[in-house]
Chains A and B, each alone.
Chain A
């Protein structure tokens, strides 16, 4: 069924859409900071693991291998989140252009 909206309603809808797009951009930006903190923490864990590695007992070597694997997985998941954030921003920019 076609929507029957007058000019005032259309203005309101546009305003709400613009607010949502702005909110989307703000959320994306705010997400970058915690992602950055996690990236740095991960680098710290990697660095400490490398420092401790020579002193690890032979029995514990598999645990270090597991730890390294786990760190890599977290790193790739952070990058995945960053890609999602980038996609959201791209969507926002496209939608803004469409509203112009």
Chain B
């Protein structure tokens, strides 16, 4: 795996052990990993921390993952979201992509695949933020 700049990642999933283990694995690839066991706490984390990429389980008990995604993209449009879906929730994945999610992975997913998606998502965010900064400086130099 190539080295990548530090990425602040937020994992939102109701499986505690998945959060713990995936955090351990992602910590090894220069990621600062934050975790949340549900969407509401995930939104709190987004408010407190500067997050680059969110990995969001779209099917958690008692919450609509798409609602959480919509909230994230409304409040933090440049935060990239990777959805974790089941085989039975591919329709949700399509809706999520339409709402601006970066990509999705079907559970059970390979952690290496997840790492690659996180890397790609962070790269897109970096490019986008640089473009916005450049546009701002171009405007002020006019």
Contacts from A to B (Cβ < 8 Å): 25, 28-29, 32-33, 35-41, 43-44, 47, 78, 82, 85-86, 89
Compute how far the CA of A86 lies from the CA of B87 in the bound complex, rounded to whole angstroms: 6
Interface of chain A, main secondary structure: helix
Cβ–Cβ contact A40 & B107, under 8 A: no
Compute how far the CA of A16 lies from the CA of B127 in the bound complex, rounded to whole angstroms: 53
Cβ–Cβ contact A40 & B88, under 8 A: no
Nearest chain A CB to B70's CB is how many angstroms away? 22
Count B interface residues, CB 8 Å.
20
User: Is B59 at the interface (CB under 8 A from chain A)?
Assistant: yes
Nearest chain A CB to B74's CB is how many angstroms away? 27
User: Is B136 at the interface (CB under 8 A from chain A)?
Assistant: no
Compute how far the CA of A82 lies from the CA of B106 in the bound complex, rounded to whole angstroms: 10
Q: List 16 A-B contacts (CB under 8 A).
A: A28-B87, A29-B86, A29-B89, A32-B87, A33-B18, A36-B18, A36-B108, A37-B15, A37-B21, A38-B108, A39-B111, A43-B25, A43-B112, A44-B24, A44-B25, A78-B108
Cβ–Cβ contact A32 & B107, under 8 A: yes
Contacts from B to A (Cβ < 8 Å): 15, 17-18, 21-22, 24-25, 28, 59, 84, 86-89, 107-112
Cβ–Cβ contact A40 & B21, under 8 A: yes
Cβ–Cβ contact A29 & B88, under 8 A: yes
Cβ–Cβ contact A40 & B86, under 8 A: no
Residue among A33, A37, A39, A85 making CB contact with B87, cutoff 8 Å: A85
User: A38: nearest residue on chain B (CB-CB)?
Assistant: B108
Nearest chain B CB to A92's CB is how many angstroms away? 8
